Amino acid sequence: MELEIKDLHISAEEKEIVKGVSLKIRKGELHVVMGPNGSGKTTLAKAIMGQPDLKATGGDILVDGKSILGMKVDERAKLGIFLQFQNPVEVEGLGFMSFLNAAKGSIYGDRLSFKDFMAEVKNSVSSLSIKEDLIGRSLNFGFSGGEKKKIEILQMAILKPKVAILDEPDSGLDIDAVRVVAEGINQLRSKNEMGILLITHYSRILNYMEPQFIHVMKDGVIIKEGGKELITEVEEKGYNA
Ligand SMILES: Nc1ncnc2c1ncn2[C@@H]1O[C@H](COP(=O)(O)OP(=O)(O)OP(=O)(O)O)[C@@H](O)[C@H]1O
Ligand SMILES: [Mg+2]
């Protein structure tokens, strides 16, 4: 699957936040978006997923050449787009496993037996070093910051998207967890030829990954693009340079 963002403009409450962004993510590619707080990274991510309060006022989002702007979140998910939230919501009373099993069922149309589903989950739980008792609890309810991030990667492992947008999957993770999460993402990327758009503020997670394209976003536009060398440049000089 190829995801193309073409001169995209996004407004929230009449205010333009994304002001003409173009990006193309092909099968298996890893793209990184960096940029100062408030530059519009999360807004871009949510707009790709189809969050209803964000309005596309110009440009287009294309999947394999076809516009998806008219599609709702669930239709985009069925196409294979996945968004990992910067701040996952807690939902008390919604069992994490029944949520995930239902999400998988709605994307793929059929459901695995609960036994097979659980076997698949347990597999990912151990490779991501997630505490087993989390999977028996309500979705994100009372989870620590780092646990929420790992749980999002677990969801990605089970839902197997074609393009994943990861909004700060490394924020709040301890040093070991950053490596575990990076390796989890790498594994999924190579196994499923998943395209990835990864938003981050820190180069640490990128030490364990091979990003091919770095995009620096500021004030709603991409101000610079390059390869991995751009990360060092940003770390040394900051965004104002
Ligand atoms: N629904 C909304 N209504 C009004 N303003 C909004 C809305 N959503 C986002 N914004 C504003 O748009 C700007 C960009 O926000 P966004 O969350 O996309 O930034 P970001 O690049 O992800 O920042 P950070 O690195 O801090 O996560 C911010 O100034 C934010 O307050
Ligand atoms: Mg953000």
Whether residue 168 is contained in a domain is answered as yes
Is residue 33 in some structural domain?
yes
Is 108 contained in some domain?
no
Query: Is the pLDDT assigned to residue 113 strictly greater than 90?
Result: no
CA–centroid distance, residue 211 to ligand 1 (Å) = 25
CATH of the domain at 10: 3.40.50.300
Q: What is the 3-state secondary structure (H, E, C) of 91-130?
A: CCCCEHHHHHHHHHHHHHCCCCCHHHHHHHHHHHHHHCCC
Domain that holds residue 184: 3-89+161-237
Please count the structural domains in the chain: 1
Atom of ligand 1 nearest to the CA of 201: 25
**Buried-state track 72-83, b at ≥16 Cβ within 10 A, e below 16:** eeeebbebbbbb
The answer to whether residue 114 scores a pLDDT higher than 90 is: no
Is 0.85 topped by the overall pTM?
yes
Ligand 1 pocket mutation, candidates 39, 44, 222, criterion most atoms within 8 A of CB: 39
Q: Is the pLDDT of residue 34 over 90?
A: yes
Q: How many residues does the chain have?
A: 241
Determine, yes or no, domain membership for 56: yes
Cα 87 to ligand 1 centroid, rounded to whole Å: 13
Q: Is residue 169 part of a domain?
A: yes
Question: Is the residue at 141 inside a domain?
Answer: no
Per-residue pLDDT tens over the stretch 160-181: 999 999 999 999 999 999 999 9
Residue 203 within a domain: yes
